[in-house]
Amino acid sequence: MADITVRKIRFSFEEPFSFEVTDAQLGEMLPPLALSMTMPYLEPYLIRTMRTALEHITDPVLAEDVRRFSQQESHHYRNHALLNDQIRGQFEDAAADALRAIEADLEADYQRFTKTKSLRFNVAYAEGFEAMTCSFALAMAEHGGFATAEMFPGGEIWAWHMAEEIEHRTVAFDVFQHLVGSYPYRVVFGTWAQYHYLSYIRRFARCMADSLGYELTRPRGEMHRTTLRRYLRTWSPRYDPAKVDVPDCVEGLLARYSAMVAASG
């Protein structure tokens, strides 16, 4: 059984933020902001998928992991929805409307996937998304990136979310193995899922960049190379997220957020 703790946290997002930063800082800010914009649509879709998967899961231990996974994702997207209100509020009306239009497209895609696609497709999508974002979260942790992430708009939401993504990293993979178990299917549809998801990250980021008169550049640097290295390993037939090395700082962060919940009563 995965060791997954559900932490009911709500961040306040009262800290104002500004886009009056250097081009380099803006280049670092926009991808996470784009990621945040997808969360209130992506994570409910994952939860719907897992709710259907639960009807077919015969392993009670995995079923409990799935319930906790869904509860964690639920707290994630509720916080991101609050952050996204703040993000939209930073833009002119036309740009905020353009962001809302992309959000509507994404929601329509995910509702369509839930209604018309097979469970194996939706489970492969979930696993493709989780494998990719966990690679990113692990690379951030490896490079002390959680401290950097606190400088993004939204502050601590990033460290909390990424740490919990690492904590529940085995669940979508285990569900896929339990219900589908086909390596070629995982590669084909997991890659498609990542392409689909990243196309929306690009749309959101480009919309924000255009409104700010900024030209998007490709991410570079050591952390991005580590992300790529970890991501490529997820395509091995021997890949198992239970066996990936997790940087020491993650445990401390999870303890920090458990304590935060306990302190809030």
Q: Which residues contact Fe ion (rule: CB under 5 A)?
A: 73, 76, 165
Instruction: Show the beta-strand stretches assigned E in the chain.
Output: none
Question: What are the CB-based long-range contacts (under 8 Å, 24+) for 216-220?
Answer: 216/27, 216/30, 217/27, 219/27, 219/31
Query: From the CB of 36, what's the least distance to Fe ion, in Å?
Result: 11
Judged by beta carbon, residue 65 or residue 165, the one nearer Fe ion is 165
Minimum CB distance to Fe ion smaller for 72 or for 212: 72
Residue nearest to Fe ion (CB): 76
CA pair distance 135, 195, nearest whole angstrom: 16
CB of 23 to Fe ion, least distance (A): 29
* Choice between 76 and 143, CB closer to Fe ion: 76
CB of 168 to Fe ion, least distance (A): 6
Q: Is the Cβ of residue 216 or residue 246 nearer to Fe ion in the bound state?
A: 246
> 45 or 189: whose CB is closer to Fe ion?
45
DSSP string, 115-153: HHS-HHHHHHHHHHHHHHHHHHHHHHHHTTHHHHHTTST
Residue 80 Cβ vs Fe ion, minimum distance, rounded to whole Å:
8
Could you tell me which of 37, 154, 194, 48 has the C-alpha nearest to residue 103? 37
Output the DSSP codes for 189-218.
HHHHHHHHHHHHHHHHHHHHHHHHT-----
Check: CB of residue 256 under 8 Å from CB of residue 2: no
Q: How far is the CB of 187 from Fe ion (least distance, A)?
A: 20
